[in-house]
A and B are shown apart, each in its own frame.
Chain A
Amino acid sequence: MMSGDSFSVASSIGGFGQEVQNTNPNPNPAAKKKRNLPGTPDPDAEVIALSPKTLMATNRFVCEICNKGFQRDQNLQLHRRGHNLPWKLRQRTNKEVRKKVYICPEKTCVHHDPSRALGDLTGIKKHFSRKHGEKKWKCEKCSKKYAVQSDWKAHSKTCGTREYKCDCGTLFSRKDSFITHRAFCDALADESARLTSLAAANNLNFGNDSMNETVINPQPGLPLGASQFGPGFRPELSGMAINGNSLGVDQQKPRLSLWLNHANSQLNPTDMMANSHLYASSSSTAFPEMVQAVSGNLFGSSSMPNFGNFNNQQFQGFDKSVSTSTNASLSLSAIPHEMKEEGNKGNLVETQSSLYSDTQKKQSKPSMPMSATALLQKAAQMGSTTSNPSSIFGNSFGVMSSSSSNTTTSFNTLNQNRNELHQALQNSKQQAAENFTASGSVDGMLGSSNLSSLTTSTNSFDQLMMQTSGKQSDPVALNNHPGSNAIENSLTRDFLGMGGRESQRPFLAQELAKFASMSSAMGLSQFTGNH
C-alpha cells in the first residue's frame, strides 16, 4: 500500500533487511505491543518520508484499478471486492510486513532526522499538524487553539470541568502542575514577605556579586533551588534536571538571564506573584523556569548571610567545568540537609507539608459526587444560558436564583408595586389574546371574561392601593417574590403545553387577579376588624 506520488523510500536504518519481530516472547495475541520511547525508533524499521501533501492527504489508500481514494484500509478492501478481481490478487500483496517509521517533512523539525522518526503514521500526521500546521480548532470556553481535532475535542471535554485554583488566582487544569505551583507560590509569598522586611537591614550587593560570579553555569540552579522545598519534590526535580539537561543551550540562556534579573532587582511580593504567574502559565517547561526563578529569588536576597556563602559553595559545586572543586562531590541529598540546618528553611519545609495536606484536601473534593443543591444550581444555569424550552427547571430556577437575593433583603414599596402592576396590566392586555387561545385541563386558567373586567378595574385597584397605603405604616410586599416569576414561566408552559415560550412576561392575568384579591383582603380586614 504505497501512496501515489512524490515520496521517496529512504534506506532503512541499519540496513539489516530483516523483518521486524515483535520482541515480546509471549505468543498471546492479546499482549500489548511494546512501545518504544517516542522519537527513538526501532533500528530495523523502514523509514518512510512523505511530502507534506501526501502526509495530510485524507485518502491514503488508493485502489490500483480505478484510483479511487479511501481513508481506511478496510474500506479500500471492501471496494476492491467489487472489482471482481481474480482470487489471488484480492489477497494482500505482501504477507510480511516490515515495520515502517516516518519522518517529519519539515526540515527544521527534530523528527526530520531518521534517528528520531516516529512509528505511527497517524502520529506523524498529528505531529505535523500540531507543530507545523495551522491551528484551526478553537475551544469556545477558553479560546485555546488546536491544530488537531482530537486534541481540541479532548480539551473541550475537560476545559473548565476540573480546575484547581491557587490562592494567587492562577488556574490549573492539571493536578500535578497545580500542586507544584502551590508549593512555590506560597513559599514565594512567605519568602517575599520575610525578605522584604529583612532586605532593608542587609546588604544586597553581597549576594549579587556572588551571583554574578557563579551563575554562569548550565542549569546549575535547578536541583539546588528546588531541593529546598522538601523531600517530596526531589524525585520530580531529578526528573526535571534530566529534562533540563536535554534542553538546548539556547533555551537555557534566557532563563539564566531572568534569574540574574531577579537576583539584581529588589524583591517585592507582587513581582514574586507576577513571576510565578508567568511561569505557571506556560507549559511543562515552566517548572525548571520557576525553580530557577525561585532559587534566584531566594538567593538573590542576601538577607541571610549564610545564603551568600552557601551560594558560592553550591554553585561552584555544580559548575561542570570545575570538576575538581571541593564541593563537586555535593550530591542532591546533601543539600537539603545543609539547608535544613538553616533555621529558616525549616519553615519552608513545614509550609510545604501543610500545603500538601491542603492540596490533598482540596483535591478530594472534586472527586465526590455533586451535592443535590449544586446539581440543581447547575441545571438552572444551563437552563438559563441555553434556550431550551423543554427544560422546565431552567428558566425558572435561573429567575429564582437571581431574584431570590432581592426578595430576602427588602420589601418592595407600594409605589413600586403600583407601577409594576400598571405596566403588567398593559402587557397583559396585549398578551391576553395570545394567552387565551389555549384552553383545557391545566391548572388555574382564567376565563376571558375576567380579563376584560380586570382591565377596567385598574383604577379601582389603584384606589385600593392608596387606601391601604394610607392606613398601614409598614411597607407591605404585594408582589415580586421569587415564586411569582416562576409562576409566570410555569404557567406559560402550562398554557401552551409542553415546550412553552421563553418570553418572560412580567405578570400573567392570573397573577394580577391574585394581587387584586389580596389587596381586597387587606381592604376587607379593615371591615372584619370592626366586628
Chain B
Amino acid sequence: MARTKQEGRSSLTSSHESSPGLGSPYPWLRSPQSEEGGLQLIELLGECASHVTARCLHSVNTRLEHISYLASPKGTAIQRIASYFIEAFADRMLKGFTGLHKALNSTKISSVSEEILVQKLFYEHCPFLKFAYLITNQAIMEAMEGEKVVHIIDLYPVEPEQWIRLLQALSVRQEGAPHLKITGIHEQNEVLEKMDLQLKEEADRLSIPFQFNPIVSTIENLDIESLGIKTGEALAVISVLQLHSLLAVDEEVVRRNQQSLQQFLETDLNHLFIASASSSTTSELSLSASPKMESFLSSLRRFSPKLMVITEQEANHNGFTLIERVHNAMKFYAALFDCLDSTKSIAPIEQQKVEKMLFGEEIKNIVACDGAERKERHEKLEKWILWLELAGFSRVPFSYNGRVDASTMLQYYSDGYSFTEENGCLVIYWHEIPLFSVSAWSFR
C-alpha cells in the first residue's frame, strides 16, 4: 500500500474514442468485442475493484491502464459499462488526494436542460418510469375513491406526463374530479416551473380544480411541516427512485450514535450487545442508523397519508464493501445498458448521454462515494418492506386493472421486459434480472 506522490501524478485515462484493443502494447488483451474479450474485461474489472479496496494505487493504475484499452463509451455494452466503472474507480482513488480531486472537478458545467433531456430520454426509451407511473396512478385512483380533496406530494417530479395522465383519469371519474393539489419537490426551480405550466394547462383543459405547489429543496432538507398539508385532505406521497437517498449516512455520526445507544440499551436490557464496527457501516441497515429515513417516515406518519407509493431500484447497492457494490452494480447496470441497446429508436448520441449522465453518475456515486455523499443507496425490496413496516406502514395490494395496463404498455417495448408480483409489490424485470420495484403503503 505504499504510494508515492509521483504515482499520484500518473495520468488517469478517461474513456477515449479510439477503437479499443488495437495498437495496445498488451498482446494478452483480447479483442473486447469478442466473447472472450468481454469475459476478460469483467475479470479485469473485478481485479481492479479489489485493488481499489486495498487502496493500492500502483496496482489500480496498472489495471486501469489495461482496461482503458478495452473499455470505450461507444463499444459493446460491456465495453461501455467498463468505461463508466473505471471512471468511478479512478474517481474513488483520486478522492484520497483531496486537492487533486477538487481541482479536477473545479470547472464542471452542469446543464439543467441536459439533465432534463436525459430524464426525458430515459422515460421515453425505457418502460420503467412509465410502469411506475401507471401503477402509481392506478393506486391513487383506487385509494382516492370518494375523496373530494386529494393532495399529492411528489418527491421528485421530472415528467409532467405522469400527472397529466392522472388528471385525465380523474376527469372521467364517476363521482367527478376532486380538487387536486400537487406539491412537487425538486432542487431546480426551472423543472418545477415547467411542470407547473404544463399541469396547469392540462387541468384547465379538463376543468379540474388544480393547484401546484413548488418546493425548491432536497428531500433530506425537506420540512414536511411546511408543506401545507391540511387536515381532511387525502394525502398521497409518491416517491420515484428518491427514497434511497435518505439512507445516506455519515458513518462517523452513526458510530457515535450507536455507542450512545449501546450505553442506553445496556442499562435497560440484559447485556444486549450491539456490534459497533471499528470503522464503517455495520449498522447502515438498521433503522436507527439512518436518522434521515427515520425522521422522514415518522414525520410522514404524523400526517397519516392515505397512500404512499414507492418506486425503487431493486438491487443492493448499499453493501459494506466496494466489491459487493461493484458486483451488484455491474449486474444491475448491465441489464440497464442492455435495455437501452434493445431500444431501436434511440440515437447513439442520446444513448451515450443517458448512459453517461444518468447511469454513469449513479455508478460513480455507488462506487466512488461514501458516507453522506453516497446518495444512491439502492436496497432490495425486502429491506424496504422491513423499514416501512417498522415505521408503521402496511402494504396495499395492487389491483388487477393496473397490472393489465402495465403489461399492455410493456408490449410496446421489447419482450425482454416482464414483471411479477412479489409480496404484494410489483417487480419489473429485464429478462431474469429484477430492476425496479413498486410498492404501495398506507398508514394504519
* A interface residues, Cβ below 8 angstroms from B: 369-373, 375-376, 378-379, 382, 390-393, 396-397, 400, 404, 407-411, 441-447, 450, 453-454, 456-457, 460-461, 463-464, 472, 474, 476-477, 481-483, 486-487, 490-491, 493-494, 497-498, 510, 512-514, 516-518, 520-525, 528-529
Cα-based distance from A528 to B265 in the complex (angstroms): 13
Say whether A371 contacts B341, CB under 8 Å: yes
Per-residue A-contact encoding for B27-66, CB less than 8 Å = 1, 0 else = 0000001010011001100110110011100000000000
A518 & B316 in contact (Cβ 8 Å cutoff): no
Q: How far is the CB of A203 from chain B (nearest CB, A)?
A: 48
List, in ascending order, chain B residues with CB within 8 A of A490's CB.
319, 321, 323-324, 327
Q: How far is the CB of B31 from chain A (nearest CB, A)?
A: 11
Complex interface: chain A residues within 8 A of B81 (CB)? 372
Query: 16 extra interchain contacts, Cβ-Cβ under 8 A, other than A373-B431, A376-B42, A521-B289?
Result: A370-B35, A372-B335, A375-B77, A375-B78, A375-B334, A378-B39, A407-B380, A408-B434, A443-B321, A444-B281, A445-B278, A483-B324, A498-B47, A512-B275, A518-B285, A520-B265
Interchain CA distance A472-B386 in the complex, whole Å: 11
Q: How far is the CB of A175 from chain B (nearest CB, A)?
A: 18
Q: Are A447 and B321 in contact (CB under 8 A)?
A: no
Contact between chains at A456 and B338 (CB < 8 Å): no
CB-based contact B1/A441 at 8 Å: yes
Q: Closest 9 A-B residue pairs measured CB to CB?
A: A513-B275, A392-B46, A372-B334, A372-B77, A521-B286, A457-B273, A490-B323, A483-B316, A517-B283
- Are A443 and B279 in contact (CB-based, < 8 A)? yes
Closest to A513 in B: B275
Q: Which chain B residues have a beta carbon within 8 Å of chain A's beta carbons?
A: 1, 33, 35, 38-39, 42-43, 46-47, 49-50, 53-55, 76-78, 81, 258, 261, 265, 269-283, 285-289, 294, 298, 316, 319-324, 327-328, 330-331, 334-335, 337-338, 341, 380-383, 385-386, 389-392, 420, 422-423, 427, 430-431, 433-434
The interface residues of chain A lying within 8 Å CB-to-CB of B316 are: 481-483
User: Which of chain A's residues has its CB closest to B434's CB?
Assistant: A408
**Bound form: Cα–Cα A397–B432 in Å:** 14
Q: Within the complex, which residue of B38, B269, B283, B286 is in contact with A370, where a contact is CB–CB below 8 Å?
A: B38
In whole angstroms, how far apart are the Cα atoms of A477 and B384 in the complex?
Answer: 11
The complex places the Cα of A454 from the Cα of B418 at a distance, in Å, of 43
Q: Which of A487, A510, A512, A517: most chain B CB closer than 10 A? A: A517
Q: Are B286 and A441 in contact (CB under 8 A)?
A: no
Neighbouring A residues of B281 by C-beta, 8 Å = 444
Given A371-B338, A392-B47, A441-B1, A517-B77 contact (CB < 8 Å): no
Q: How far is the CA of A529 from the CA of B423 in the complex (A)?
A: 25
Task: Please tell me if the beta carbons of A393 and B330 are within 8 angstroms of each other in the complex.
Answer: yes
Residue of chain B at shortest CB distance from A519: B286
Query: What does DSSP make chain A's interface, helix, strand, loop or mixed?
Result: helix
Which chain A residues border B271 with CB–CB below 8 Å? 456-457, 460
The answer to whether A513 touches B279 (Cβ under 8 A) is no
Q: Chain A contacts of B331 at CB under 8 A?
A: 373, 376, 397, 400
- Expressed in whole angstroms, the Cα–Cα distance for A376 and B385 within the complex equals 29
Chain B residues whose CB sits within 8 angstroms of the CB of A512 once the complex forms: 275
Once the chains bind, are A460 and B269 in contact (CB under 8 Å)?
A: yes
User: A526–B55 Cα gap in the complex (Å)?
Assistant: 41
Contact of B324 with A454 in the complex, beta carbons under 8 Å:
no
Taking a contact as CB atoms under 8 Å apart, the answer to whether A474 and B282 are in contact is no
Alpha-carbon distance A510/B284, docked complex (angstroms): 12
Separation of A407 and B320 alpha carbons in the complex (Å): 20
**Chain A positions within 8 Å of B381 at CB level:** 408
Question: Is A520 touching B286 in the complex (CB atoms < 8 A)?
Answer: yes
Which residues of A are found within 8 Å of B77, using beta-carbon distances?
A: 369, 371-372, 375
Which residue of B is nearest A472, CB measured?
Answer: B389
Bound-complex Cα distance A372 to B335 (A): 7
Are B278 and A524 in touch, CB under 8 angstroms?
no
Residue from B270, B286, B334, B380 in contact with A481 in the complex, judged by beta carbons closer than 8 Å: B380
Contact yes or no, B33 A516, CB < 8 A:
no
A441 CA to B57 CA in the complex, in Å? 13
Please give the distance in Å from B388's CB to the nearest CB on chain A.
Answer: 11
Could you tell me the distance between the alpha carbons of A136 and B385 in the complex, rounded to whole angstroms? Answer: 60
B270: chain A residues within 8 A (beta carbon): 460, 463
The CA-CA distance from A529 to B301 in the complex, in Å, is 11
Contact call B273/A373, Cβ cutoff below 8 A: no
How far, in Å, is B121 (CB) from chain A's closest CB? 19
CB-CB under 8 A from A443, the residues of chain B are 53, 279-280, 320-322
Q: Which of A446, A483, A523, A529 contacts B392 (CB 8 A)?
A: A529
Return chain A residues, CB-CB under 8 Å to B391: 525
Contacts of A447 in B (CB 8 A): 278
Measured between beta carbons, the chain B residues less than 8 angstroms from A370 are 35, 38, 76, 78
11 CB contacts below 8 A, A to B, read A372-B338, A373-B338, A376-B42, A393-B330, A400-B327, A443-B322, A445-B279, A453-B273, A460-B272, A477-B385, A498-B47
A371-B341, A392-B49, A408-B422 known; A477 vs B382 contact (CB < 8 Å): yes
Q: Say whether B277 contacts A476, CB under 8 Å.
A: no
A528 vs B285: C-alpha distance when bound (angstroms): 17
B38 with A375: CB separation less than 8 A: yes
- Find chain B residues with CB under 8 A from A477 CB: 382, 385-386
Q: B45 — nearest CB in chain A belongs to which residue?
A: A393
Contacts of A397 in B (CB 8 A): 327, 331
Instruction: Take A409-B422, A453-B273 as given contacts and tell me if A391 and B43 are in contact as well, using a CB distance cutoff of 8 Å.
Output: yes
**Contacting pair B320 A487 (CB below 8 A):** yes
* Chain A residue contacts of B265, Cβ below 8 A: 520, 524
Chain B residues with CB below 8 A from A481, complex form: 316, 380, 382-383
Given the known interface contacts A454-B273, A474-B389, A494-B321, the answer about A521 and B288 at a Cβ–Cβ threshold of 8 Å is: yes
Residues of A contacting B335 in the complex (Cβ-Cβ under 8 angstroms): 372-373
Q: Which of A442, A513, A521 has the most CB of B within 10 A?
A: A521
B89 to chain A minimum Cβ distance, whole angstroms, is 13
- Chain B: which residue is nearest A447 at the CB level? B278
**In the bound complex, CA of A217 to CA of B391 (Å):** 86
